[in-house]
A and B are shown apart, each in its own frame.
Chain A
Amino acid sequence: MTTPGAGWYPDPQNASMKRYWDGSAWTEQVQLASSVPPPPPPNGPMMPTNSQMMPRKYLVESILATIFCCLPVGIPGIVFSSKVESLWNAGAYAEAQEASRKARMWSLIALGIGLSIVALQFVTFVIGLSQ
């Protein structure tokens, strides 16, 4: 007499469940009888979106901000730039992209502050000249 092949069969102990038969004995693995197999994991987070190129780190911009104008703005920029690196190396491609966006935001803030300071000093200088 042949035994059925391995697979999921109605659990003899509980009709609403299925139990896995490994071909020679029942195992401990059960699942609901009406359960649908889980969908395959979506491809999105695991695939790099941009053909293996790390998103822009904005490291140059953050260094410039730290050295020249705004330490409080340059440091977060460098921190997020560092996060782009570590997230990308760990395979978290979407998160690396998000860190890149944040690094970019801090760079723009630094640029805005830096330009404002330069403009202010220029105006002060010109006013000083005219007196």
Chain B
Amino acid sequence: MSKTHNVRKSVTLHAAVGVAALSGLTTVRVLHDQGVHLPGCPFRAVLGLDCPGCGSTRAMLRLTHFDLLGAINYNALCVAGVVILAWVWVAGVFRALGKNMRTPLDHRYASRVTLYAVVVFWALRLTPGPVGEFLASLPR
């Protein structure tokens, strides 16, 4: 009895998260198409430099147009993060239904790798040159 309850709770939670994510994407897309200016990054507004999250919203917008390369150009880390999070979401549904599924975040050093990835990405996108420009939050 309690196991079915847990399954139902988990599936409901994942469904809610999925709906929320799709709603967020739809909202961003609709607002943009209406001409509403998308929010900027406070860090960038003050210091003039990209933070690791800069360009995420516009990257997500590009994904609604199925423009993967454009999305990566705005924020590669965000796209990679979203792919991994989607993987975790799918695994969560499978696990709720009884089938285990491994994700990159289960790895014993997943957090450490994430931290390094954020720092390296941040450093790279601030460097001058073609790599820095591609990773920066403005399109080329």
| Chain A residues near B (Cβ < 8 Å) | 54, 57, 59-60, 62-64, 66-69, 71, 74-75, 78-79, 81-82, 84-86, 89, 117, 121, 125
| Other A-B pairs beyond A75-B118, A78-B111, 8, CB < 8 Å | A57-B105, A63-B114, A66-B118, A67-B81, A68-B56, A71-B43, A78-B114, A85-B110
What's the minimum C-beta distance from B68 to chain A, rounded to whole angstroms? 17
Main SS at interface, chain A:
helix
Partner among A59, A68, A86 whose Cβ is within 8 Å of the Cβ of B105? A59
Contacts of A68 in B (CB 8 A): 53, 56
Partner among A63, A89, A117, A125 whose Cβ is within 8 Å of the Cβ of B81? A63
A79-B114 Cα distance, complex, nearest whole Å: 9
**B82's closest neighbor in chain A, by CB?**
A67
| Chain B residues near A (Cβ < 8 Å) | 31, 36, 39, 43, 51-53, 56, 75, 77-78, 81-82, 84-85, 88, 105, 108-112, 114-115, 118
> Given A78-B114, A85-B111, are A63 and B53 neighbors across the interface (CB < 8 Å)?
no
A78→B85 contact, CB < 8 A: no
A57-B36 Cα distance, complex, nearest whole Å: 37
A125→B36 contact, CB < 8 A: yes
Partner among A64, A74, A85 whose Cβ is within 8 Å of the Cβ of B109? A85
Contacts of B56 in A (CB 8 A): 67-68
B53→A71 contact, CB < 8 A: yes
**B43's closest neighbor in chain A, by CB?**
A71
What's the minimum C-beta distance from A82 to chain B, rounded to whole angstroms? 4
3 smallest CB-CB distances across A and B, nearest first, come from A81-B111, A82-B111, A82-B112
Partner among A59, A64, A69 whose Cβ is within 8 Å of the Cβ of B111? A59
Among the interface residues A60, A64, A69, which one has the most CB atoms of the partner chain B within 10 A? A60
What's the minimum C-beta distance from A85 to chain B, rounded to whole angstroms? 5
